[in-house]
Amino acid sequence: MRLHGRALRLTIIVDDTDTWHHKPLFTEIVHRAHAFGLAGATVFRGSEGFGETSVVHTTRLLSMADDLPTAVVIVDEEDRVRAFMSQLEELPISGLITLEEVEVVHYKGRDTTAS
């Protein structure tokens, strides 16, 4: 798959302790993106952050090392990303979801035919 030019970036920020059917919520989002055939998804774990509660969670303090921010970032063509968003409706996402227009200047998947 090749992706070039205008695209949409979907960012979903959840807590690293959020779960769906006893699995991390971010894992469920990535697996749904994969099954939907999107170009890719990446999970970034934050080392510090705060949200709606204004409580700062950080890896520097053992007592606050839970509920760290975790971002799932997905980039694909706009129509594919918007269609995928229906896959998120049943999930208990209490964090932030954003969409941004981006320009893809390079994306090339691995050649799966070569061994």
Over residues 39-62, the pLDDT tens digits come to 999 999 987 777 777 777 776 655
Residue type, 29: I
Domain 5-104 sits in CATH 3.30.70.120: yes
- pLDDT of res. 56: 72
Residue 23 CA to residue 17 CA, distance in Å, equals 9
- pLDDT of res. 115: 52
Mean pLDDT of 85-93: 96
7 and 77 Cβ atoms separated by less than 8 Å: yes
Residue 109 has pLDDT above 90, yes or no: no
Q: Tell me the chain's radius of gyration from C-alpha atoms.
A: 16
47 and 68 Cβ atoms separated by less than 8 Å: yes
- pLDDT of res. 62: 56
Over residues 15-34, the pLDDT tens digits come to 889 999 999 999 999 999 99
pTM of the model: 0.84
- pLDDT of res. 95: 86
Domain boundaries, the chain: 5-104
